[in-house]
Chains A and B, each alone.
Chain A
Amino acid sequence: MGGIVDIVVTAFQFVANYIAEYLKNGQQGIALFFTFKNLLAVFGGVGIGIFGGAIPGITITMSVALVMPFTFYMVPLTALSLLLGVYVGAIYGGSISAILLNTPGTPAAACTAMDGFSLARQGKAGKALELANWSSCVGDLVSTSIVILVCPLLGNLALYFGSPEYFALIVFAITVTGGVAGQSMVKGLIAGGLGFLVATVGMDPFVGTGRFDFGNLELTKGFSFVPLLIGLFAIPEVMLQLNRSRSMKGRARITSAPVTDRSHDRLTWQEFKGCFRHMVRGGIIGLVLGCIPGLGATPSAFVSYERAKRASKHPEKFGEGSLEGLAAAEAGNNAVNGATLVPLLTLGIPGDVITAVMLGAFMIFDLQPGPLLFMQHIDLIFGLFCALIMCDVALRLVGMGFIRYARRVATSVPTSMIFPAIVVLCIFGSYAINNSVFDVLTMLAFGMLGYVMATFEIASVPFLIAFVLAPMLERGLRRSLALSGGDPLIFFQRPIAIGFFVLTVIAIISLSRGVGRKMR
């Protein structure tokens, strides 16, 4: 009996301490975040993101990559808030062109197009856009709130992490991101291998001698992350768009039917109430799927849509302009925003390309996401949580303004204007990071590589993730072996490291089964 009481008392003390610590850290985060600059960064970021996402052909990654060079002159929280704002805004922005043009601005918005475009053809584009905006906010808010409550608990793992644990963690991270390998696992592995190889260019971190520098001083520093990112994701898209624009004539037109009765084009309280449960469910589905590295927003939107269809009283309306379907897809789609940050912040694992970009942004500011971040920069983590919540507020406010005044502008900007502007942004942005013209050359070279990879249908995401994780993997391995005097058994003497290796084996088995199923 006494034992049970002790356990209950200890548990109670743990919870009380956790809440006290949580409130203290929360206060620090609020104090750090609520400045004019940070709020401007969030609202501005969401605006830029919505605009970028609404233009077909401009991906979320491209939007974030183009903004990134301009964040270097900001303090870390402002810069990260801006990038988060762009990310959140771009995911929502994808739904605008999906609804108005039946051209999803982002792959995740493909599900939104099914019902959204049908509604637009019925003359209810305004209603569809407003519901998409509400669903994005509610879905994201549900998942973000849970992330904020649970995430710091995982941060307590920090105390138990040494070099072998880090090595095992990175091995696990690389394995699970195999999910982003694209259609072919072999091609995904090739992209990852090339990313690793490119990351070895520059000064060796232990011995201090050059690797593949060809006597060039610029190359001894290795390739800069941002020019590589811009080159890999923006330039190939411009080239592909140029090819497409040659094969298409005329400009895309908004195909919504004329609105005869304005009252039919507004979202009513009854309609919102009827869709609310689908938004919350979508938020939870997005949270669960977003936490799993490699899945991202697209499967989340489709799973949420499917669940809503099963739960609906009118499943026959799905695909024909169902408000429930639209709400579920948008909520599931946007709910991954906060969730993908869980593996990034707690373990330092980028779950998708955007979080890989965010990881790069953290590293540029000398911050290493993962367990230690919770020990050293807890105020920044809570500041980021505030930014996530504010992103939802901004999404609602900026989103509504955008729907009312700018939707037609964004969806009718000619590609002949937008893509040349992107090229110039790429050139200036690459230069601005280190004031180096060599970075412009780096960007162009990786642009060519990205185009070749796109031509051979090789995903660029594993390349980028491997490039980001490679230095950590090498450092973890070499430091651990130096500690043990070359004995590899050091990796199998620590319980956390063993745990990650077991998880790695499970991940390999499940990925191979997935590949086997695909091949059958």
Chain B
Amino acid sequence: MTARRNPIDYVVRYLKERSHYRDFYFGVILLLFCLTTIFWLIPAQVSIGYLAHGTVVGPSFFPYAMCLTLLFLSILLIHISPETSQYITRAEDKVVSRIVIVLIIILFATYSIIPLTGMVPAGILAMFVLMQIFGFPKWYLSLGFSLVFVILLFLFLEKLAQVRIPRGILFDGLY
């Protein structure tokens, strides 16, 4: 007589098998996101309930419908992850490389210095640093190119398209 398998063991083994596949992680993240949205975000952020008088279908109908659909799809993705993604090997298991993280930091740093320096200096700095990261050979040429490109863009937007580009606290009134 064979011993009955414990359901918890079965679930643990099921999840362990799938944890070697990249899509499993996306499925889990999506599942958690859907649960958070259904049980916290929608009740907290969508003020009128499922049915609103006069409109029959209320503002929360679509968010709930979409979250429930995504919840189902995330479970499906976890289940089929061995078919949709490759087995993760040690060399591949880095989803984001170091250089991409540096790029992300530069992008957000540029965004955060805009109120201080304005868009033109922030743009020149970002472009110069990015050209160095991308491996442009001569630093003075990359600085010159960044200056010319951003100033031309600034002139186009300000003079032709009539868009006022933010000057920032430091350079307000200078140009």
A2 CB-CB contact with B under 8 Å = no
Contact with A along B138-171 (1 / 0, CB 8 A): 0000100110011001101100111111100000
CB distance from A237 to the nearest CB of B (A): 12
Which residues of B sit under 8 angstroms from A431, Cβ to Cβ? Answer: 119, 163, 165-166
> Which one, B47, B73, B142, contacts A186 given CB within 8 A?
B73
Q: Are B85 and A457 in contact (CB under 8 A)?
A: yes
Q: Are A423 and B126 in contact (CB under 8 A)?
A: yes
Cα of A152 to Cα of B108 in the assembled complex, Å: 48
A409 CB-CB contact with B under 8 Å = no
Which of B160, B163, B166 has the largest number of chain A CB atoms within 10 A? Answer: B163
Name the interface residues of B64-100: CB closer than 8 Å to any CB of A: 66-67, 69-70, 73-74, 76-77, 80, 83-85, 95-97, 99-100
- Given A184-B84, A207-B55, A428-B123, residue A196 in contact with residue B99 (CB < 8 A): no
CB distance from A13 to the nearest CB of B (A): 44
Q: Are B95 and A239 in contact (CB under 8 A)?
A: no
- Given A73-B161, A197-B70, residue A186 in contact with residue B80 (CB < 8 A): yes
- Given A184-B84, A197-B66, A437-B166, residue A207 in contact with residue B114 (CB < 8 A): no
A99 CB-CB contact with B under 8 Å = no
CB distance from A141 to the nearest CB of B (A): 33
A269 CB-CB contact with B under 8 Å = no
B26 CB-CB contact with A under 8 Å = yes
Which of A190, A193, A200 has the largest number of chain B CB atoms within 10 A? Answer: A193
Which residues of A sit under 8 angstroms from B157, Cβ to Cβ? Answer: 428, 432
B103 CB-CB contact with A under 8 Å = yes
Contact with B along A390-418 (1 / 0, CB 8 A): 00000000000000000000000011110
Residue total for B at the interface (Cβ-Cβ under 8 A)? 72
**Chain A residue, CB-CB nearest to B106:** A423
Name the interface residues of A66-110: CB closer than 8 Å to any CB of B: 70, 72-73
**Chain A residue, CB-CB nearest to B76:** A186
Cα of A449 to Cα of B103 in the assembled complex, Å: 14
Is chain A's binding surface mostly helix, strand, loop or mixed? helix
Name the interface residues of A301-329: CB closer than 8 Å to any CB of B: none
Q: Are B111 and A478 in contact (CB under 8 A)?
A: no
Q: Are B163 and A435 in contact (CB under 8 A)?
A: yes
Q: Are B97 and A243 in contact (CB under 8 A)?
A: yes
Which residues of B sit under 8 angstroms from A425, Cβ to Cβ? Answer: 153
Q: Are A424 and B123 in contact (CB under 8 A)?
A: yes
- Which of A16-24, A439-447, A495-503, A506-514 is found at the contact surface with chain B? A439-447
Q: Are A482 and B30 in contact (CB under 8 A)?
A: no
B35 CB-CB contact with A under 8 Å = no
- Given A211-B45, A428-B157, A485-B56, residue A245 in contact with residue B135 (CB < 8 A): yes
Cα of A128 to Cα of B102 in the assembled complex, Å: 42
Is chain B's binding surface mostly helix, strand, loop or mixed? helix
B134 CB-CB contact with A under 8 Å = yes
Which residues of B sit under 8 angstroms from A423, Cβ to Cβ? Answer: 107, 126-127, 130
A365 CB-CB contact with B under 8 Å = no
> Which one, B23, B55, B59, contacts A456 given CB within 8 A?
B23
A214 CB-CB contact with B under 8 Å = yes
> Which one, A196, A214, A427, A482, contacts B45 given CB within 8 A?
A214
> Which one, B41, B103, B145, B150, contacts A239 given CB within 8 A?
B103
Q: Are A420 and B130 in contact (CB under 8 A)?
A: yes
Cα of A511 to Cα of B104 in the assembled complex, Å: 38
- Given A245-B135, A421-B149, A424-B150, residue A190 in contact with residue B70 (CB < 8 A): yes
Q: Are A213 and B45 in contact (CB under 8 A)?
A: yes
A517 CB-CB contact with B under 8 Å = no
- Given A209-B59, A432-B157, A444-B108, residue A243 in contact with residue B100 (CB < 8 A): yes
- Given A196-B66, A417-B136, A427-B110, residue A207 in contact with residue B48 (CB < 8 A): yes
Cα of A485 to Cα of B161 in the assembled complex, Å: 48
Q: Are B57 and A481 in contact (CB under 8 A)?
A: yes
> Which one, A200, A206, A440, contacts B111 given CB within 8 A?
A440
CB distance from A192 to the nearest CB of B (A): 9
Q: Are B62 and A474 in contact (CB under 8 A)?
A: yes
Cα of A190 to Cα of B103 in the assembled complex, Å: 27
CB distance from B89 to the nearest CB of A (A): 16
Which residues of A sit under 8 angstroms from B60, Cβ to Cβ? Answer: 211
Q: Are A420 and B45 in contact (CB under 8 A)?
A: no
Which of B57, B58, B95, B149 has the largest number of chain A CB atoms within 10 A? Answer: B57
Q: Are B119 and A427 in contact (CB under 8 A)?
A: yes
Which residues of A sit under 8 angstroms from B104, Cβ to Cβ? Answer: 239, 448
Q: Are B63 and A206 in contact (CB under 8 A)?
A: no
CB distance from A131 to the nearest CB of B (A): 35
Q: List 20 A-B contacts (CB under 8 A).
A: A70-B156, A187-B84, A189-B69, A207-B55, A209-B46, A214-B45, A235-B107, A239-B100, A239-B104, A245-B134, A415-B134, A419-B130, A420-B127, A420-B130, A424-B123, A424-B153, A427-B111, A431-B166, A440-B114, A478-B55
Given contacts A420-B146, A482-B55, 19 further A-B contacts (CB under 8 A): A193-B66, A200-B66, A239-B104, A246-B99, A416-B136, A417-B145, A420-B130, A420-B131, A424-B146, A427-B110, A428-B123, A428-B153, A428-B165, A435-B164, A440-B114, A451-B96, A458-B26, A474-B62, A481-B56
Closest 10 CB pairs of A and B: A420-B130, A416-B134, A416-B136, A204-B59, A486-B56, A481-B56, A193-B70, A197-B66, A212-B45, A456-B26
